[in-house]
Amino acid sequence: MSTAPGAGASDGAAGRAPGGGPSGDATDTPLLTARGIAKRYAQREALRGVDLDAHAGELIAVIGPNGAGKTTLLSILAGAQEPSAGTIELAGDAPAHGSSVGWVPQQPAVYSRLTVAENLELFARLERVSDPRAAVREMLEQTGLRERAQERVGRLSGGNRQRVNIALGLLADPAVLVLDEPSSSLDPRQRERLWRFVLESSGRGRSVVFSTHNVAEAERYAGRVIVLADGELLFSGTPAELARSSGSDGGLGFEGAFVEFLRIRGH
Amino acid sequence: MKSMLKKDLVILARSRLLVGVLVVYPIAVALLIGLAISRAPSKPKVAVVNLSPPGASVELGARPARRVQVGHYYGALLKQIQAVPVATRAQAIAKVRSGRVLAAIVIPANIAARLSSVTSQGEIEVIYNGEALEQSFVHSTIEAALAQANLELSNRIRSLAASVIADLLKGGNLGVPGTPQNLPGLRRIPGILQGVLRRQPPGPQREALAQVAEFAQFAAQNLGLSGRVLNTVSRPIAVHTKLLHGRRTPLDAYAVVVAVSISLMFVCVLLAAGGVALEREEHTLSRLVRGLVSRELLLVEKLLLAAGCSLVLAFAMLAGIGAFVGLEWGRVAQWLLALAGGAVAFGALGVAIGALAREVRAASLLAFLLSLPLAFLALVPAGAVAGGLYDAIRVISFVFPFKAALQALDAAVNRSSPGLGSSLVHLLTLTLAFAALARVGLRRAE
């Protein structure tokens, strides 16, 4: 496998610390540091001065109303878009993006006329993984897609397609995994499997940043919640801190507290 | 680049319907256009009533009279049209009315007599269908057919008249039983008369004979010019054709170049546009451009793939047609150069379209809608439309690669001008311009 930011080379075996980064709990040294991220589309400001630190083993949920800038922020963190202003730094001397940040976009970014294995092998080669075939085998095992390896992606169910999408994001064993609304097209059983997989991935020391409209998922799985509205970072803290900052005594539930928080902040 | 090319070839191979359409459609369009350009307009279907008696002839001269069969005129006319022989004028009119023929020509019974009279012209009747569009086409075609038949008849009459005059000048045996033998001929008469004059004593008879000899000399000289005069009268203006641009391009060879250029354009533009649009439709573009493949490399890869596939197809097409149409195989290197230049420019146009469109269908439609009129505009000849409009067409043809690719291939295959070098420079310039547009389009669309 490739050498990823943070430390030494990984061994390519299942259960390894991703990217060779710190395994286990979050540490004080962030794997990814974003400062003053701004994005402007013509006259519209999609993001305004957003700061974010992502530590090893940390699971960060980005939530906010529609048009808040969640997808823009995540695609900038993943390197799919250039920010208009601001900087992104990764721990170590790894390249800013590519193999060091795994990207799982909202819509599965896969070639529907290629098979699952062909998709994985193509991106493994593009990610310059040292042994692409071994990486493909490992990903097929990890995502439970071994039986579907020779099927064309276009013939897979939405859930399995999303699994391929996630597998592509993890191919290069990145230190940071960025997922944009990963559970939006999945049924409850598939969602459960997805989060189990993400938690396992985070538990191995990988920093995971995900966006969601389902605030219950943020409360349940995220260690830290970031609230965006109109391109502005309104909050960064634990779900419990967000609930407290809305002034609710717990009677509203997390979703109610989140809505109340937005109302208080004028959104 | 290698992985991306391999991936796109696998995807292409699995899109059999698309490949089939991309190959069959341009070939079909190209062949249709080639046939339309290279084939002469079909002859109009015309009813013909020949009322002149069989063997009727126009007589010229006397003792013996020379004859031109009316059948010669009829035959010359039939060569120009698709004739439907009918017996009567009424039947001819009925056929025109029913639309089974576009017009009718009635050759009257007295045409030979009128021509023989020398004092009056022969007359024929032409009956047209009244439908405006067809009438204009039929009118001009039949006018041309009649003019051609008239010319052929005129040539025959001129030839006979010249032969009668030649006989008058040279004399001898006319080869017809009952006619005088060893006639002296007008050219010999002045010499004979001079001989007689030398033996004639001076006096009024000698003076009169001298005047006759002088007139005979004058008549022989002037009659000798009559052959050339007849030629001038029958064809007062001779047409000499001069080509201003290079070597003459045979129409069938030019049709081949047009057909191959159209195929090259369709396949290349559609493949390149579809290839780029597919990356966006499959949402893979955002994954690729995050450090895995640069946008420039992605565009170059799509361009080269489309150019390579279309080059192979176009060359196969050119070689295939070359088996039937005489092409210079010694210039195969120039063919490949021209095809490559055109393919790369079309590829650049295609990736620009693909970068601007969000999905494959939109890109394909845009590519198709743009390519078809470009091809037709580039084929509009000078003088076919008003000057201002032709200038606008020239500008459009200049800023898109079809015309330059057509000129490059025409230069490579037919040695026409402008030369291959200048067309390739033009194509290279357009390639850079469209590649830059594609790069901007790809960034703006993100």
CA distance B56 to B121: 16
Cα A100 to chain center, whole Å? 12
Backbone φ and ψ of A43, nearest 5°:
-90, -10
Report the chain B residue with the minimal C-alpha distance to residue A42. Answer: B444
Which residues 8-27 on chain B approach chain A with CB closer than 8 angstroms? 10-11, 14-15
CA distance B268 to A217: 48
Confidence of residue B8 (pLDDT cuts 50, 70, 90): confident
CA distance A153 to A164: 8
Mean pLDDT of chain A: 81
Give the pLDDT of residue B64: 59
Q: Are A208 and A202 in contact (CB under 8 A)?
A: yes
Give the pLDDT of residue A82: 87
Cβ distance of A109 and B15 shorter than 8 Å: no
Mark B100-111 as b/e (b = at least 16 C-beta within 10 Å).
ebbbbbbbbebb
**Does B1 or B377 have the greater pLDDT score?**
B377
Give the pLDDT of residue B176: 59
Q: Which residues of A touch B288 (CB under 8 A)?
A: 126
Sign of CA dihedral B198, B204, B207, B208: negative
Residue of B427, B413, B384, B114 lying closest to B265 (CA atoms): B427
Of A150-154, A190-194, A210-214, the poorest mean pLDDT is in: A190-194
Tokens 């943020």, residue located: A218
Cβ distance of B282 and A97 shorter than 8 Å: no
Identify from A71, A123, A170, A181 which residue to disrupt to test chain B contact, counting B C-beta atoms within 10 A and taking the largest count: A123
Q: What number is the ipTM of this complex?
A: 0.77
Report the chain A residue with the minimal C-alpha distance to residue B283. Answer: A109
CB atoms within 10 A of CB B11: 18
Tokens 């970031």, residue located: A226
Q: Find the farthest-apart pair of alpha carbons in chain A and give their distance in angstroms, rounded.
A: 54
Q: Would you say residue A8 has pLDDT above 60?
A: no
Residue of B1, B30, B25 lying closest to B318 (CA atoms): B30
Q: How far is B29 from chain A (nearest CA, A)?
A: 29
DSSP tally for chain A: helices H, then strands E = 8, 9
Report the chain B residue with the minimal C-alpha distance to residue A129. Answer: B292
Cα dist from A217 to A56, A122, A204, B226, whole Å? 20, 32, 20, 111
Of A197-211, B122-136, B305-319, the poorest mean pLDDT is in: B122-136
Cα B141 to chain center, whole Å? 15
Chain A residues within 8 Å of chain B (Cβ atoms): 75, 78-81, 95-99, 101, 103, 105, 107-114, 118, 122-123, 125-127, 152, 168
The strand order across the sheet containing A101-104 reads A85-90, A30-41, A44-55, A232-237, A224-229, A59-63, A207-211, A176-180, A101-104
Q: Would you say residue A62 has pLDDT above 90?
A: yes
Give the pLDDT of residue A159: 82
Q: Which residues have a Cβ under 8 Å from the Cβ of B214 and sit 6 or more positions away?
A: none
Tokens 């710190």, residue located: A22
Cβ distance of A126 and B3 shorter than 8 Å: yes
Cα dist from B80 to B76, B102, B133, B143, whole Å? 7, 14, 20, 10
- The shortest CB-CB distance from B446 to any of A81, A113, A118 is to A81
Cα dist from A7 to A4, A74, A100, A209, whole Å? 7, 24, 12, 20
Q: Would you say residue A27 has pLDDT above 60?
A: no
Helix, strand, coil percent content, chain A, rounded in steps of 5: 35, 25, 40
Residue of A15, A9, A59, A19 lying closest to A172 (CA atoms): A19
CA distance A259 to A252: 9
Three-class SS state of B366: helix
Give the pLDDT of residue A14: 33
Mark A109-124 as b/e (b = at least 16 C-beta within 10 Å).
bbbbbbbbbbbbbbbb
Is residue B244 within 8 angstroms of chain A, CB to CB?
no
Q: Partners of B106 in the beta sheet?
A: B49, B125
Cβ distance of B292 and A111 shorter than 8 Å: no
Give the pLDDT of residue B38: 58
Looking at residue A115, the DSSP 8-state letter turns out to be B
**Does B174 or A258 have the greater pLDDT score?**
A258
Report the chain A residue with the minimal C-alpha distance to residue B281. Answer: A109
CB atoms within 10 A of CB B255: 22
Q: Which residues of A touch B7 (CB under 8 A)?
A: 111, 114, 118, 122
Q: Are B124 and B108 in contact (CB under 8 A)?
A: yes
Of A8-12, A48-52, B106-110, the poorest mean pLDDT is in: A8-12
Q: Which residues of B touch A126 (CB under 8 A)?
A: 3-4, 288, 292-293
Tokens 């790809």, residue located: B442
Is residue B284 within 8 angstroms of chain A, CB to CB?
yes
Number of A–B residue contacts, CB under 8 Å: 63
Is residue B384 within 8 angstroms of chain A, CB to CB?
no
pTM of the model: 0.67
**Does B19 or B422 have the greater pLDDT score?**
B422
Residue B20: Cβ-neighbour burial (10 angstroms; 0-12, 13-18, 19+)? exposed
Q: Considering only CA atoms, give the Rg of chain A.
A: 18
Three-class SS state of A30: strand
CA distance A183 to A162: 9
Give the pLDDT of residue B245: 52
Looking at residue A69, the DSSP 8-state letter turns out to be S
Report the chain B residue with the minimal C-alpha distance to residue A108. Answer: B283
Q: How far is B443 from chain A (nearest CA, A)?
A: 10
Q: Which residues have a Cβ under 8 Å from the Cβ of A125 and sit 6 or more positions away?
A: A132, B3
CA distance B318 to B394: 27
CA distance B201 to B206: 7
Mean pLDDT of B136-141: 72
**Does B215 or A9 have the greater pLDDT score?**
B215
Give the pLDDT of residue B432: 95
* Predicted confidence (pLDDT) per residue in B226-281, tens digit: 777 777 776 666 666 555 554 445 557 788 888 889 889 988 999 999 999 999 88
Mark A158-194 as b/e (b = at least 16 C-beta within 10 Å).
ebbbbbbbbbbbbbbbbbbbbbbbbbebbeeebbeeb
CA distance A11 to A19: 9
CA distance B178 to B187: 23
Provide long-range contacts, Cβ within 8 A and 24+ apart, for A256-265: A258/A63, A258/A215, A258/A227, A261/A227, A261/A234, A261/A235, A262/A65, A262/A227, A262/A229, A262/A234, A265/A229, A265/A234
Give the pLDDT of residue B135: 62
Q: Which residues of B touch A108 (CB under 8 A)?
A: 283
Tokens 């898109």, residue located: B400
Is residue B282 within 8 angstroms of chain A, CB to CB?
yes
Backbone φ and ψ of A30, nearest 5°:
-70, 145
According to DSSP, the β-strands at A176-180 and A224-229 are unpaired
Confidence of residue A119 (pLDDT cuts 50, 70, 90): very high
Cβ distance of A109 and B282 shorter than 8 Å: yes
Cβ distance of A79 and B291 shorter than 8 Å: yes
* Predicted confidence (pLDDT) per residue in B189-220, tens digit: 888 888 888 888 888 888 888 888 888 888 88
Give the pLDDT of residue B218: 86
The 3-state secondary structure of A198-243, one letter per residue:
HHHHHHCCCEEEEECCCHHHHHHHCCEEEEEECCEEEEEECHHHHH
CA distance A62 to A60: 7
Is residue B290 within 8 angstroms of chain A, CB to CB?
yes
Cβ distance of A109 and B284 shorter than 8 Å: yes
Sign of CA dihedral B343, B348, B353, B358: positive
**Does B61 or B4 have the greater pLDDT score?**
B4
Mean pLDDT of B298-317: 92
Amino acid present at A178: V
